[in-house]
Amino acid sequence: MSPYKPFDLSSVPFMTGTAPALDVDSLAAEPIEQFHRWIREAVEGGVPEATTVTFATVDAHDHPDARTVILQAADEQGFSVAGHGATGKAAQVAAHPSAALNFWWQPALRAVRVRGAVSTAELPEGARLWTVRPERVEFWQGSPADQQHVRIVYTADAQGGFVREVTRG
């Protein structure tokens, strides 16, 4: 019999941050602008390493593969991350040019999820810049007291803009 005893995960506190005020009537029309509002609030509110993001791709066996990277830019082109061109993520993006990003800002009880097609640019010394052009961006804010979490989803439309939907629960 093994002496291994699983750690009791039910004893770990969660949703311990403090969510900032959120006025859903003053949300940005575009997700990039809303992202800049939230990341500014995160940085100014003391969230450590707010540009750290999980970058998820698909491997050769169609399995998801995720790693932590640093956001390089967020602009009208999309959300950009960088890495070396001779890595697994480079091969995965070349074979399946789509990805997802996930930011988790625990002290603010906020998360941002981005999903879309990826374009690749070559950088000096074998590096690559991957830009995720958002097709769907979800902003999530926790509400531990009443479990009425706020979800703001921007979905790309056929005209090149975004449709925004706000839900609670």
pLDDT, tens digit, 9 for 90 and up, residues 49-97: 999 999 999 999 999 999 999 999 999 999 999 999 999 999 999 999 9
- 27 assigned to some structural domain: no
pLDDT, tens digit, 9 for 90 and up, residues 7-30: 999 999 888 999 999 999 999 999
| Domain housing 119 | 34-168
What pTM value is reported for the model? 0.93
CA pair distance 135, 156, nearest whole angstrom:
5
Helix (H, G, I), strand (E, B), or coil: what is residue 22? coil
Residues contacting 158, CB < 8 A, separation 6+: none
Give the total number of structural domains in the chain.
1
Tokens of 20: 């900032």
- 17 assigned to some structural domain: no
